[in-house]
Structure formats: structure tokens, C-alpha cells
Structure 1
Amino acid sequence: MPPTNSPTLRQRRLGAELRKLRERAGLTATGAAEVLGVNQARVSMIETGRTPISADRLRSMARAYACSDEELVDALASMTGRRTRGWWDSYRDHLPVGFIDLAELEYHAVAVRVALVVHIPALLQTTDHARALFNEAVPALRQYEIEHRVSHRIKRQEILHRDNPPSYTAVIHECALHMEYGGAATVRAQLKHLLDMSELEHVTVKVMPFGYGSFPGNGQSVDYLAGPVPQLDTVQLDTHHGCEFLDAEAQLEKYRLVINRMEENALEPAESRDLIHRIAKTV
């Protein structure tokens, strides 16, 4: 398969996982090349995601690296082959790469868990609410940039309406429910939409009320995207300079604990809906 100069996040992750398997086997890139019967450059290209590989080649590498975790190998094999274009590829010339990577991660996730303090989760936002947020971006965005971001965000939401959607759990601090992005009409519509979405069988919305003394994780917004096996989970953090993606074992374990505590401390779904209803009546 020909190399690519712009591997997707999924291709880069596949390569990174193969590098981890090689290092656990105590092999250098040179040593792995000798065992596999290829040159070192090819091993390096595979590990950076620049050279696609077949499922058969991946299984050969896993055997060479003495990996006995069949579930992990099967999950990695499902990520092999040529790059397939997703709907997000049409935005590559218009949006920062982090936006594209996040959409690809969400599309392939088997479960999504998010926790936010001052914002409604992106996958639960209305068009007007999303537009109001992007209108407040610093530095200011041009109108066509805002519309690209809005349409991309709404397109991301389709994963919640497809056949076999991922389970989706959102922990939202009560603060976010009182933020008046876009004015009263937009807020009312947003809260109604949040309630409607919370009624879907695969969507869980839990609110952390003001009366609770702490919000684990120091109030940081967290997206936890579960892969087919825990080793392929990814954490996405929002920062002032864009999306940050974490996948080291220690980082994943930390944010599993953080988001577990957030979910445990928040109101149950029925109580959360009651609180959202009460807030909506005051807008």
C-alpha cells in the first residue's frame, strides 16, 4: 500500500499501538525489521501511520511481538487497510485538524462519556446555541468560519441518531444550564432540546447541582471516548490552543477515575430532568 503524508488520527493511533507492542517485546525497530523480513524504514513508516497495513500483516507483527491479547489484536486488525474517507474529510481545508480528529474518534467510539462545567455538550447543542458560542470565539471568526464550525458540530451529532449508536453519558454542571448564550429564546430552545435528547434510550444526562461542594477534575471539560477494548480508549480535553488527545495508559486510568466520580456525584437522570425543567421555567 502506498504511503500517506497525512495519516488520520486513527492511523496514527494504530501505528502507536504497534510501537507499544514492539517495545514491550524488547525489540528495537531494527530488530523488528529483521524478524518481520522488512527494512527498518518500513517499520518506522507503519508506526507513524504513514504506511497502511493489512490485517494479515498486523497479525504477523503481533505474533512476532509475542502479543497474546486476542481481543486487542482483533481490535487493531479492524483499524487496518487503506484510509476510508469519512464525512469529516470534506472539512479538512476549513477547520483545525483537532476538529477532524475528534469527529473521527466519535464516529468509531463504542461509548462516549463527557463532563462539562460552563457549556452544554457539543453533541447535545442546538444550531443556534452552537452559533452563539462560535460568535464569542477569540480571536473573532469570520462568518464563513463560524458556519463551517456550526455545520461540522451538527454533523457530528448524527452518531446519536444512527442505527446502533454509541451509549452517551453527559455530566453537566448546573452552571452550564444558566449560561445565556444567544439570548432567552435560544436558551429555552436549548434546554428543551437537552430534555428531549435525555429521553433517548442510549443517552444519559446527569446534572451536578450548585449545592454540591466540588466538581472532580478541577472543572476541566473532558470527553472520554471508549474504543472496542480499553487499551484503545482516548481522552479529549478542550484547551485554549485547541483539542488535546491523551491515550497513555496512566492518563486513561486517571480520567476513568475522574469521570466515574463525576457520574457518581451527579444527580440521577430523573432528578436531573426535573432540575432542567425548573431552570427552563425561569428563562
Structure 2
Amino acid sequence: MTPTLTPTARRQRLGAELRKLRERAGLTATQAGALLGGNQARISNIEAGRHGVSAERVRTLTCHYDCVDADLVEALAAMTGERRRGWWEEYREILSSGQLDLAELEHHGRRLRTAHTSGIPGLLQTLEHAREVMRQAVPALAPSAIEHRVSFRIKRQAVLDREDAVPYQAIIHEAALRMRFGGRSVAARQLQHLLETGQREHVSIRVIPFDSGAFPGSGQPLYYVHGPVPQLDTVQLDQAHGPVLLDAAAQLDKYRQVFARLESLALDEAESADFIRTIAQDL
């Protein structure tokens, strides 16, 4: 099998989890390769996400690695079954791999949680708001590049519209709600969109007012994507050079605590909706 030059984040994550289990079992890549009747390079390519691996082979490897967590084994085996290219692949030559990885992550997530201080979460932005956000990029983007990014962001929002939509929770600070991207009319329509989207059964929008005081996270946008088992959760952080994905156990535990703290500071859903209406009236 020819190695994949641009492995997806999902395939890389599968490989990384298999590597963790191998190392926990005290086996080298050479030893693991021998158990499969192959060699060290084969295991290395699987763990790097460059080679695909079947569900049966995942079960075989985890058995050799003495993994007794049946839920984790089946969750890893399920990560091998995606044969059809995701819609985001049409942007492969246009956008960064980090942006595509985010769409793939959302597509497979079992629950989505995000927290924003100075901006509206991408899945909740109107087209006008998204376009204005893209216009503020440094260095400036060409009009065609802006439209590619805007269309990608709007297509990502389909994850909230599909029949099997998963729970989505957004915690938004008052500062983000009061920023007028595109002027009063665009801001008004954005706030109305939040109110309408927040009425969906699987969507929760909660607000942290200024008077709630200090909060963890230093204002950095946070995105927590739940996997089928806690070990396969992922945290995405926005950085100037693009999104960064974190999945180490200590990192996941840290951001679970951060979100718990943010939730304790946020208004409940009904109070948040009233708060958004008040801001809209002040425009």
C-alpha cells in the first residue's frame, strides 16, 4: 500500500492512539510489526496516519497491546470505516489542512462545545458577519479567497442542520455580542440569528456578562469536541497560524475544568436569550 502524503486528522488520531497503546504495552514498533507478519515501517506508517488500517487489524493490534477497554477498542475500529470523501475535501487545494481537519472533527463529533470572548462562533455566524470577519484578516485576503473561506464556514454549519445533529453548546461573552462587525444592521441580524438558532432543541447558547468578573482561558476561543469515548475527545485552539488540536489526557482534563468554570459563570439559556435581546435593542 502506498503511503498517504496528506493524512487526515482522523487517521492521524487513530494512529496516535494505537501508538499510545503500543507504548503502554512496552512493545517497540519492530515487535508490533512482527506480530502482524510485517515490519517496523508498516507500524510506523499506520501510527503516522500514512497507511490505512482495517477494523479487524485494529482489534488484532489492541489485543496484542493488552487493551481491555472494549468501548475504546470499538471506537478505534469505527474510525477505520470512513470510505467516502467528506465534503471538505473539495477545499483541499484552497484552504489549509487545519481548517479541513476542523470540519472533519465536527462531522464525527458526538457533542460540540465552544467558548468565545471576542467573536461569534463560526457555526453561529451569518453569511454577512462571516464575510466581514474574513475582510479583517492580516494580511488582507483577495476577494476570491474571502469567498472560499466564507462558503466553507457556511457549509460547516450544516452539522447543526442534519437529522442526526449532535448537542451543540456555545458560551459567548458579552464583549463578542457587542462588537458590530459590518455595522448596526449586520450586527442586528447576527443577534437575531443567535436567538433563532438557540431555539433549536439540540442547541444551547449561554452568555457570560461583563459583571460576571474574571474567567479562565484568557479570552482565547476554545472548542471542545467529544468523541465516542472520553479518551477520543479533542480540544481545538485558534492560533494566529491556524487551529491547533490537543488530545493528551492532561490537556483534555484541563479544558474540561475550564468549561465547567465557564458554565458556572454563564447565564442559563432563557436569561441569555433575554440578554441578547437587550443588546439588540441597544444597537
Question: What is the TM-score of this pair, normalised by structure 1?
Answer: 0.98
Unaligned runs of 5+ in 2: none
Q: Which residue of 1 aligns with 2:102?
A: 102
Q: Which residue of 2 aligns with 1:77?
A: 77
Q: Distance in 2 between matches of 1:130 and 1:281?
A: 22
Asked if 2 retains the 8 angstrom alpha-carbon contact of 1:53 and 1:81, the reply is no
Asked if 2 retains the 8 angstrom alpha-carbon contact of 1:6 and 1:50, the reply is yes
Deviation at 1:83, TM superposition (A): 4.8
Unaligned runs of 5+ in 1: none
Q: Distance in 1 between matches of 2:192 and 2:215?
A: 25
Q: Which residue of 2 aligns with 1:47?
A: 47
What secondary structure is seen at the aligned counterpart in 1 of 2:53?
A: coil
Deviation at 1:203, TM superposition (A): 0.3
Deviation at 1:82, TM superposition (A): 6.3
Q: Which residue of 2 aligns with 1:182?
A: 182
Q: Which residue of 2 aligns with 1:274?
A: 274
Q: Which residue of 1 aligns with 2:30?
A: 30
Q: Distance in 2 between matches of 1:171 and 1:261?
A: 11
One-letter code aligned to 1:92: R
Q: Distance in 1 between matches of 2:244 and 2:9?
A: 12
One-letter code aligned to 1:32: A
One-letter code aligned to 1:87: W
Aligned ranges 1:62-141 → 2 under 5 Å: 62-81=62-81, 83-141=83-141
What secondary structure is seen at the aligned counterpart in 2 of 1:259?
A: helix
One-letter code aligned to 1:182: G
Q: Distance in 2 between matches of 1:197 and 1:88?
A: 23
Q: Distance in 2 between matches of 1:196 and 1:186?
A: 15
Deviation at 1:64, TM superposition (A): 0.4
Deviation at 1:35, TM superposition (A): 2.3
Q: Which residue of 1 aligns with 2:143?
A: 143
Question: What is the TM-score of this pair, normalised by structure 2?
Answer: 0.98
1:165 aligns with 2:165: yes
One-letter code aligned to 1:88: W
Q: Distance in 2 between matches of 1:50 and 1:83?
A: 15
Matched-pair identity in %: 56
Q: Distance in 2 between matches of 1:81 and 1:224?
A: 23
Q: Which residue of 1 aligns with 2:220?
A: 220
Q: Distance in 2 between matches of 1:104 and 1:120?
A: 20
Asked if 2 retains the 8 angstrom alpha-carbon contact of 1:16 and 1:48, the reply is yes
Cα-Cα RMSD: 1.0
What secondary structure is seen at the aligned counterpart in 2 of 1:6?
A: coil
